[in-house]
A and B are shown apart, each in its own frame.
Chain A
Amino acid sequence: MAGKAFRDNAARAAGAPWLTLKTREMLEAWLFVSPTLIGFLIFFLGPLVAIFYYSTTEWNLLSQQATFVGLRNFHNVLLENPDFWHVVRNSVIFALGLVPLNMALALSLALALSRPFFGVVFFRTVFFAPVVTSAIAWAIVWKFMLQGEGGAVNQMLAWIGINGPNWLREPNWAMAAVIVTRVIKMVGLNMILYIAALQSIPRDYEEAATLEGASRWQVFRMITWPLLAPTTLVIMVLTTIGSFKVFDHIYQMTGGGPENGTLVLAFYIYQQGFKFFNVGYAAALALIMFVIVMALTLVQVMLRRRDME
């Protein structure tokens, strides 16, 4: 029904002589993007601007009193709060651990599973299955399996003679554990994206190279990898952003502990804003996070550009 009315209107507009083709096109275009645009202004751009204002206030969510304090929140975050740099460090370590591991594993799996062979469907299914599982469910199960002596992981390690650590109670092991379990959870998505990209590469290139005596590695290095570059860039950027956003996984598995060893930025913002009710302080943190993620993304895009040229 709505479609018909819309069409009629458009048809009438088409018949309106006072509208040039160009203006009509433009009107149509803005009409098409208007739902996205309006929502975007209300729920994204507005809040983003508001964050700038919030970050200059001291604002308690409980008493609902806000006072203007200028740049004091930033001063406190950057200069007076030792936890902050620890948190940034954790976020960077998390990203540095997660992104390469995720991408390397995703690409290896995609290379292994991009062509049909007996069992390929089974494997693709298996490696993608955690993606469709809720992050909370995934974290709940792994938290169990990573318990000290009684945990399933350490029991399995014991079969092969390894005495596993108390995973979630030692800061470094806990960080490793949240990274690896997150990779297992998410790698399937990147794998599929790589498979899609690999399948769109014409087979003749690789076959020609193989006929000329190139080894598998050479074919990959000289032909496949360069052709995958655009996909790699997209995956890298999205995975990096995703790694900074990680919240539910940490919330459920470690709650930021032990010894703040897995306290990452997203969780810290949540804690300041919604546990301690320091709205202004949390807003300053959010703004800093915004700058970090933006800068990282731009650097990645620029580096890749230079690479490709």
Chain B
Amino acid sequence: MKTAIKLALSAVALCALSAQSMAQELRMTVWTGNEAHLKMLNGIAAGFIAKHPGVTVKFETVPVADYTQKLTFQVAGGNAPDIAWMMEDAAPAFENAGLLMDIGPTLKATEGYNFEDFSEPAMALWQKDGKVYGMPFSTSPFLIYYNKDMFDKAGLEDPNQLAAKGEWNMQKFQEVAKKVTDANPGKWGFEFKDGEGYASRMTHALLPPVRAYGGDLWANGQCGLDKPEAVAAVKQLHDMVFKDKSIVPPGEQGDYFSGNSAMTVNQISRASKMPEAGFKWGIAPLPSGPAGEAPVIGQAALTVFASGKNTELAAQLVAEMTSRDNVAVMAQFFPPARKSVLESNAFVNSNKLIPPEQMKSVAAAIVNGRVHPSHEHVPQIFAAMAPRVDALWRADANVEDALKGVCAAIQPLL
């Protein structure tokens, strides 16, 4: 009798087990709610499901504003997703906490994957001691967006024309920003990225000029903002805001996309906002500086959580999503880190909104660009920076002292 019950029980257990393995669900958190993005992702997932019957893939949108925080709550709540989009600034913290799986073996074992195709600088953040913690799906350089109409009104050459003549540098940038502001009363020459240069994107405002002058926010555990190169770069920005009044000042809105600023810095994904903008526009590389050209890249990767039930399957999905074909598909929104795709004509022609020759400069920036500096304690660093950067953005601030203050605040954390 007892054995019979045992048998029956184990049969039930077996059924339950196999039922579970037949209906495997992979959950992936993303921060986009954009319909076109989700449609594309689901399309890629459909290809994976076709090869792995019984598997379902669910994309869960977590709002971008608190994405990293909410992801942490899911992890701390014992409810980590199988796969997550990960921002560059969050990666080290998750990696150091041992939460991410090494997906290298799976990727390298995947037929036709060609791991070496990913450009080395693009992989820098995601590899450690030969282990691979994430595969970049978006490696997106910072670019200058300009309002052609406003430049025409001022009778100026636009940044692209200047770049073609090799004159597009930080000095010229300040000059045209001032002129275009004077020619367009009530508007500005330049707006920081997304108009958030004094708040959530404070480092995105500082980084491009600082890099152009040969500095960095921090490197090798050393704060770089009080170095002469960085001070000179920020002084120039400060003058543009408060002396030339050509950059949208703190507390004001000069939305580029609404036609209130002649230039801004952004990534190619924002081109999708341009058709409704109602003015002629273009993109150009970031202005070069004393240190030459210094493209800046924003990056995001696919990571697999080690705590998941189906980590191997999840890693296979990552391999599928970052295969050559699918990277090419995603390139319409998310610039690739695969050299073969970057060099292809398909990529240069992939964006309906951006002409091929401008896409070539995008591709060049991806290959040469360096990612925004990262660190395990990025949230703390940003929080320590914020009040001191606020002090920097006052009309009467002494730039050098303010930057020393920034460094004093963040050095202990580095």
Query: Which chain A residue lies CB-closest to B98?
Result: A63
Complex Cα spacing A178 to B253, Å: 20
Which A residues touch B249, using CB under 8 A? 148
Select which of B69, B76, B253, B390 is within 8 A of A257 by beta carbon: B390
Cβ of B344 under 8 Å from chain A? no
Cβ of A195 under 8 Å from chain B? no
Complex Cα spacing A148 to B253, Å: 9
The stretch that binds B, out of A207-215, A269-277, A293-301, is A269-277
Q: Bits for A43-64, please: 1 = Cβ < 8 Å to B, else 0.
A: 0000000000000000011111
Select which of B69, B377, B388 is within 8 A of A274 by beta carbon: B69
Complex Cα spacing A147 to B98, Å: 44
Which B residues touch A166, using CB under 8 A? 250-251
Cβ of A259 under 8 Å from chain B? yes
A-side binding surface: helix, strand, loop or mixed? Answer: loop
Complex Cα spacing A168 to B383, Å: 18
Complex Cα spacing A147 to B198, Å: 14
| A150/B199 in contact, CB under 8 A | no
Interface residues of B in 73-113 (CB under 8 A from A): 73, 75-76, 93-94, 96-99
Interface residues of A in 132-158 (CB under 8 A from B): 147-150
Which A residues touch B98, using CB under 8 A? 63
B-side binding surface: helix, strand, loop or mixed? Answer: helix
Select which of B69, B97, B390 is within 8 A of A60 by beta carbon: B97
Cβ of A169 under 8 Å from chain B? yes
Cβ of B387 under 8 Å from chain A? yes
| B75/A62 in contact, CB under 8 A | yes
Cβ of A260 under 8 Å from chain B? yes
| A255/B250 in contact, CB under 8 A | no
| A150/B252 in contact, CB under 8 A | yes
Cβ of A258 under 8 Å from chain B? yes
| B93/A260 in contact, CB under 8 A | no
| B379/A61 in contact, CB under 8 A | no
Which B residues touch A263, using CB under 8 A? 387
Query: Which chain B residue lies CB-closest to A275?
Result: B379
| B390/A61 in contact, CB under 8 A | no
Given the known inter-chain contacts A63-B98, A257-B386, A258-B387, please indicate yes or no for A169 contacting B251, CB distance below 8 A: yes
Distance of A77 from chain B, by nearest CB (Å): 15
Interface size on B, residues (CB 8 A): 28
Interface size on A, residues (CB 8 A): 27
Residue picked from A147, A255, A258, A263, most chain B C-beta under 10 Å: A258
Query: Which chain A residue lies CB-closest to B395?
Result: A166
Residue picked from B72, B76, B99, most chain A C-beta under 10 Å: B76
| A259/B391 in contact, CB under 8 A | yes
Distance of A250 from chain B, by nearest CB (Å): 14
| A62/B97 in contact, CB under 8 A | yes
Interface residues of A in 166-193 (CB under 8 A from B): 166-169, 171
Select which of A61, A148, A167, A259 is within 8 A of B387 by beta carbon: A259
Given the known inter-chain contacts A62-B99, A63-B97, A260-B387, please indicate yes or no for A149 contacting B252, CB distance below 8 A: yes
| A148/B99 in contact, CB under 8 A | no
Which B residues touch A171, using CB under 8 A? 390
Complex Cα spacing A149 to B254, Å: 12
Which A residues touch B97, using CB under 8 A? 60, 62-63
Complex Cα spacing A41 to B209, Å: 57
Which B residues touch A62, using CB under 8 A? 72, 75-76, 93-94, 97, 99
Q: Bits for B316-358, please: 1 = Cβ < 8 Å to A, else 0.
A: 0000000000000000000000000000000000000000000
| A276/B250 in contact, CB under 8 A | no
Q: Bits for A238-279, please: 1 = Cβ < 8 Å to B, else 0.
A: 000000000000000001111111010000000100111100
Query: Which chain A residue lies CB-closest to B382?
Result: A275
Which B residues touch A261, using CB under 8 A? 387
Residue picked from B73, B252, B387, most chain A C-beta under 10 Å: B387
Given the known inter-chain contacts A63-B97, A147-B251, A168-B251, please indicate yes or no for A257 contacting B383, CB distance below 8 A: no
| B94/A259 in contact, CB under 8 A | no
Cβ of B171 under 8 Å from chain A? no
Cβ of B380 under 8 Å from chain A? yes
Which B residues touch A256, using CB under 8 A? 386
Complex Cα spacing A64 to B97, Å: 8
Complex Cα spacing A147 to B249, Å: 11
| B390/A276 in contact, CB under 8 A | no
Complex Cα spacing A61 to B73, Å: 8
Given the known inter-chain contacts A62-B75, A62-B99, please indicate yes or no for A276 contacting B251, CB distance below 8 A: no
Which B residues touch A276, using CB under 8 A? 377, 379-380, 383
Which A residues touch B380, using CB under 8 A? 276
| B252/A147 in contact, CB under 8 A | yes
Query: Which chain B residue lies CB-closest to A86?
Result: B387
| B72/A257 in contact, CB under 8 A | no
Query: Which chain B residue lies CB-closest to A61?
Result: B76
Complex Cα spacing A271 to B379, Å: 9
Select which of A147, A150, A259, A275 is within 8 A of B390 by beta carbon: A259
Complex Cα spacing A258 to B251, Å: 11
Q: Bits for B364-397, please: 1 = Cβ < 8 Å to A, else 0.
A: 0000000000000101100100111011010000
Complex Cα spacing A148 to B394, Å: 13
Query: Which chain A residue lies CB-closest to B250?
Result: A169
5 chain-A/chain-B pairs, Cβ below 8 angstroms: A148-B251, A167-B251, A257-B390, A274-B73, A275-B379
Q: 8 other contacts beyond A171-B390, A261-B387, with CB at 8 A cut-off?
A: A62-B72, A62-B75, A62-B76, A63-B96, A63-B97, A148-B252, A271-B383, A276-B383
The 3 A-B residue pairs with the shortest CB-CB distance, nearest first, are: A148-B251, A63-B97, A260-B387
